A and B are shown apart, each in its own frame.
Chain A
């Protein structure tokens, strides 16, 4: 009796088990299809004056995607990067962003490189309530009128960068300061940051010259600046503009009396500019030699080197990595890809991805992080990529940011 019953139970059980075993892959498949891959839209200026930086951003961002997928993704879902060329043009960027959201149905957006372009991406993303983590320097993006709950800013902002560099340079190099700046938001914001930081050391602005962005020759601005013999010349421009203006300032012999300063001293620019950059001081969000003191930087560099034939990541490249990583860590922490939950998770993220501790400030979603002060060199290099000396680090501290009230955020 009992044996018979048992046998029946056994048969029933095994039938159910085998049915389940057959159905399981299909169930899993349908669960995955429901979500599909986690798509991250990545508009950056692949062509144009910042092409070198943008291409490095893509390489590093791919690394963050690869790491995430190799670690198993999120609930079986893999991440995918959808790179688009915004051509360094706000209109083009808006179009591409809209496409990414409407047509490609991206879950998140990371990218941008240029103050005007990042604001344009942000506008589109904010209206459609898609999380956008900007990896381009901008002050305006932190201000209440451009900010939305889905806006995040992984990059440094001009106020932090120029502030840190100014606080380092002015007390050491002198009070008579000249500016040569690219005539667009980035240049204006950097100048404002320097002037604010210079108040403490009582700087005197002897010239404040604006040049058109992408000017091919700066020689015509230089005799006037040289004649003023300033202690410090701040070159508030970016990418190729920075390379050419530093090269020509050196050629005109400005270094005899004047310390050349670039708020954002780019790794790629220094590599393109060569020894003309010698002695130029500037700020940066990341430099690979940070690996000498910061373990997470070492780990990041090693993975980058392994993936890209021994190359080291540039500053803006590293931001591409961190920008994507922040969003994906947000997904993991939230246990969801839903916008609201990921926003909350990112707000609470205390991380050390590649450069030491970092976290988002609640009111404006600005990443509070360290600013490195570096000096360019061309002698005694360990490797051809060993182009900067790290002079100092201004640690992550909300005091160096503009206050939430000043930005127009209500408490």
Chain B
């Protein structure tokens, strides 16, 4: 322990709190990216995003019970949610394209209720117990104090996923089509690319990311039908703060929100929930389109 302190808190504690914030942010980033991606490309505000997060966790935990492999769940949960996302886009969302932002919003809002209620009926209200896999349990001494191993894994894993996603979008030709589609879908169509297939793929990808975030969050908080509700609010904040449709913005904003939560809980614990929204208000005052957002994303 050292004696340096800021605002009455030892430096060690502040550093540890920062790491906690980054780990919190890692989940926000994963949920936020999916939401932002879907919105940025197709102007669909996916209100069912939290429900995909929750169902992903259930799928993962259910499979973990069957196979005993957390790693398999980590693959299966996003895969299942991706497939479900594809089906939802094809059958439910697609007929609503061109009808403004409200219709898909209401549809996904209703869908989230159906998903939550179905899980309640299938798995009950109590929720399922779920802890980190044995190989990721325990805490590690970071030199500044003990920190849970699982949360370190969470940071590393999320960074890897985000890195892979960045490479996919910035360095592949399909990524190029996605970016182009977000700018001007009509021109992309004219160039002979079926934009509807791109939309389908991106909606699936966004839902897969929500499912992945769900199974990653499961060991931290257990699995309940309502676990997606607070997450949805946080994901929206991340999307708005980062800028609608911006991948880098979602990463930056996710981490920022995590750190703000962690630091607020140190000085004013009862204000943590409010701090997220205060941050959002502040960012919107200074930069109405978010930190890294395109101009007129909502226009």
Chain A residues near B (Cβ < 8 Å): 48-49, 51-52, 55, 183, 209-212, 214-217, 219-224, 226-227, 240, 243-244, 247-248, 251-253, 268, 271-276
How many cross-chain pairs have Cβ atoms below 8 Å apart between A and B?
A: 116
Q: Specify which of B124, B146, B231 is in contact with A253 (CB 8 Å cutoff).
A: B146
Closest Cβ of chain A to B186, distance in Å, is 41
Q: Are A275 and B131 in contact (CB under 8 A)?
A: yes
Q: Are A212 and B129 in contact (CB under 8 A)?
A: no
A sample of 4 more A-B contacts (CB under 8 A), given A251-B132, A272-B129, is A55-B125, A183-B270, A219-B151, A244-B220
Q: Are B20 and A227 in contact (CB under 8 A)?
A: no
Q: Are B269 and A209 in contact (CB under 8 A)?
A: yes
- The answer for the CA separation of A275 and B16 in the assembled complex, in Å, is 26
- The answer for the CA separation of A313 and B231 in the assembled complex, in Å, is 32
Q: Which residues of A contact B130 (CB under 8 A)?
A: 274
Q: Which residues of B contact A273 (CB under 8 A)?
A: 129, 222
Give the B interface residue count (CB, 8 A): 46
* Interface flag for B21 (CB, 8 Å): yes
Q: Specify which of A52, A216, A217, A222 is in contact with B127 (CB 8 Å cutoff).
A: A52
Closest Cβ of chain A to B276, distance in Å, is 11
Stretch from B157-165, B236-244, B258-266, B278-286 contacting the other chain: B258-266
Q: Specify which of A223, A248, A251, A271 is in contact with B129 (CB 8 Å cutoff).
A: A271
B-side binding surface: helix, strand, loop or mixed? Answer: helix
- The answer for the CA separation of A325 and B154 in the assembled complex, in Å, is 50
Q: Are B125 and A215 in contact (CB under 8 A)?
A: no
Q: Are B131 and A247 in contact (CB under 8 A)?
A: yes
- The answer for the CA separation of A252 and B224 in the assembled complex, in Å, is 21
Q: Specify which of B17, B139, B234, B270 is in contact with A212 (CB 8 Å cutoff).
A: B270
A-side binding surface: helix, strand, loop or mixed? Answer: helix
* Interface flag for B272 (CB, 8 Å): yes
* Interface flag for B150 (CB, 8 Å): yes
Q: Which residues of B contact A55 (CB under 8 A)?
A: 125
Residue of A nearest to B132 (CB): A251
Chain B residues near A (Cβ < 8 Å): 9-10, 12-13, 16-17, 20-21, 23-24, 124-132, 138-139, 145-148, 150-151, 219-222, 224, 226-227, 230-231, 234, 261-262, 264-266, 269-270, 272-273
Q: Are A210 and B270 in contact (CB under 8 A)?
A: yes
Residue of A nearest to B1 (CB): A227
- The answer for the CA separation of A252 and B272 in the assembled complex, in Å, is 20
Q: Which residues of A contact B272 (CB under 8 A)?
A: 211-212, 215, 220
Closest Cβ of chain A to B48, distance in Å, is 18
CB within 8 Å for A224 and B266 given contacts A243-B127, A252-B148, A253-B146: yes
Q: Specify which of B12, B129, B221, B227 is in contact with A275 (CB 8 Å cutoff).
A: B129
Q: Are B146 and A240 in contact (CB under 8 A)?
A: no
Q: Specify which of A220, A222, A244, A268 is in contact with B21 (CB 8 Å cutoff).
A: A220
- The answer for the CA separation of A268 and B113 in the assembled complex, in Å, is 24
Q: Which residues of A contact B262 (CB under 8 A)?
A: 219-220
Q: Are B17 and A247 in contact (CB under 8 A)?
A: no
Residue of A nearest to B274 (CB): A212
Q: Are A224 and B231 in contact (CB under 8 A)?
A: no
Q: Are A221 and B265 in contact (CB under 8 A)?
A: yes
Closest Cβ of chain B to A181, distance in Å, is 10
Closest Cβ of chain A to B196, distance in Å, is 36
Closest Cβ of chain B to A40, distance in Å, is 23
Interface centre among B222, B231, B264 (most CB of A within 10 A): B222
- The answer for the CA separation of A38 and B133 in the assembled complex, in Å, is 53
Q: Which residues of A contact B148 (CB under 8 A)?
A: 251-253
Q: Which residues of B contact A275 (CB under 8 A)?
A: 129, 131
CB within 8 Å for A252 and B222 given contacts A216-B231, A276-B131: no
Closest Cβ of chain A to B218, distance in Å, is 10
Q: Which residues of A contact B124 (CB under 8 A)?
A: 52
- The answer for the CA separation of A384 and B8 in the assembled complex, in Å, is 47
- What are 17 A-B residue pairs whose CB atoms fall within 8 Å in the complex? A52-B126, A209-B269, A210-B269, A211-B265, A212-B270, A214-B230, A216-B230, A220-B21, A220-B266, A223-B145, A227-B12, A247-B221, A252-B139, A271-B129, A272-B128, A272-B224, A274-B129
Interface centre among A183, A211, A214, A251 (most CB of B within 10 A): A251
Closest Cβ of chain B to A349, distance in Å, is 32
